[in-house]
Every structure is written in C-alpha cells, then in structure tokens.
Amino acid sequence: MEDFNAGIGAAEMLGRANYVALVGGGRNPKFPTNKVIIWDDAKQLAVVTLEFQSQVLRALLSRSQILVAVLNSISLYAFSSPPKKISSYETADNPLGLCCLGAKIVAFPGRTPGQVQIVEIGTGNVSIIPAHGSPLRAMCLSPNGEILATASETGTLVRIFSTSNCARISELRRGVDPAHIFSLAIAPSSTLLA
C-alpha cells in the first residue's frame, strides 16, 4: 500500500482484492471528505471517484456494489466504471456511518432512530425492523446475510434478528448501566457473536 503522507478518515478493503475504498480525514486529508476514492493498489492509482454533497462517513465494497453512508442517507452503486447509482435511501441521523453490505441485502438505520431498514438488492423490497427505542450505535450482518445484530446508544442490549422475516431471534443483556458498544461481529459460522 502506498504511503499517502496525509490523513485517511475511512478505509475499506474489498476482501483480498487490490481495491480499497478511501475517504480523506484528519487535519491534513489526502482526499476531500465528501469523496470516495476506489484505489487500485496493484496499479497504484484511483480507478473510481464518487462525490457527494456532504461528508462521507463510510464506504463498503463488494465485487458488484459500492455502499456509501453520509449523515442522512445511504447510496448504493454498481461497482463498475463509471459506477451506476442503483438507489438511495433516507436515514435518521447516522453520524457513525452505520451500514452493512451483504451479497443480497443491505442494512442501515431507518428514518426513525432505533429502526433498521433492510433492502433486497435484486428487488428493492424494503423491510423495517423496530430494533431499539434509542438511536443505533452498532450493527453487523452475518457473512451469509441471514442474521443481523444491533446495539443502541444505551448499550445495555444486543438484539439479533433474522433478515428473511425480520423476527427477533435473541436478545442479549450486557448489563444495566449504559455503555458504548463500538462494534459487533458475527463469526463465519453464524453461531458466535463478539
């Protein structure tokens, strides 16, 4: 990887491929904070640039899609040159850039704090999960896309949902005192949560 000698606010690698989604950040950003740069590390150059009206908080990559989070919306693009916008969705304030990109679905905060929207990429069908009573703090999708785990700003509960029917599978209590949950992860087997 090249030494940019400047700030990077967000980076997301495409599996083991040479593509990395980069967003500038820090005091001396390498790239504008409102742009996503898809960097090809093998060629040592930017191959795709997406520009937005506001600061990009997160960008995720799959072999066929690019998912970008800004404060109040999520945008889904076909990973092509040039990228083709597939759809855009409004969200509640999402300062952490929460979003998940699976092979068949995307998940992100809904328009109401505490809700999760799940969108089937192929059909555009939208499902809403009333996950928590307060804004979301963390969320993750299982590798097979069948399970979604969420935590709210309160940090006392982690809830697990089936993405096929939006049913709550389980609820795990972390404690009674509020806490910041910074991330969630589901094992490749979909049987363990960290």
The DSSP result for 148-161, as a single string, is: EEEEETT-SEEEEE
* Size (the chain), residues: 194
Cα 44 → chain centroid: 25
C-alpha span between 57 and 9 (Å, rounded): 8
Read off the pLDDT of residues 58-110 as tens digits, 9 standing for 90 and up. 999 999 999 999 999 999 999 998 999 999 999 999 999 999 999 999 999 99
- Based on the number of CB atoms within 10 Å of its own CB, is 14 exposed (0-12), middle (13-18) or buried (19 or more)? middle
Q: Yes or no: say if 30 and 47 are a contact pair by the CB < 8 Å rule.
A: no
Longest dimension (CA), the chain: 51
Cross-sheet strand order for the sheet of 100-101: 100-101, 105-109, 115-120, 126-130
Percent of the chain predicted with pLDDT > 90: 79
C-alpha span between 54 and 63 (Å, rounded): 25
Q: What is the pLDDT of residue 4?
A: 61
* Strand pairing report for 19-24 and 35-40: antiparallel
Read off the pLDDT of residues 46-71 as tens digits, 9 standing for 90 and up. 999 999 999 999 999 999 999 999 99
C-alpha span between 165 and 146 (Å, rounded): 10
55 is written with which tokens?
A: 């600061």
Q: What is the pLDDT of residue 134?
A: 95
Q: Judge whether residue 119 has pLDDT over 80.
A: yes
What Å distances lie between residue 161 and 12, 52, 181, CA to CA? 25, 32, 18
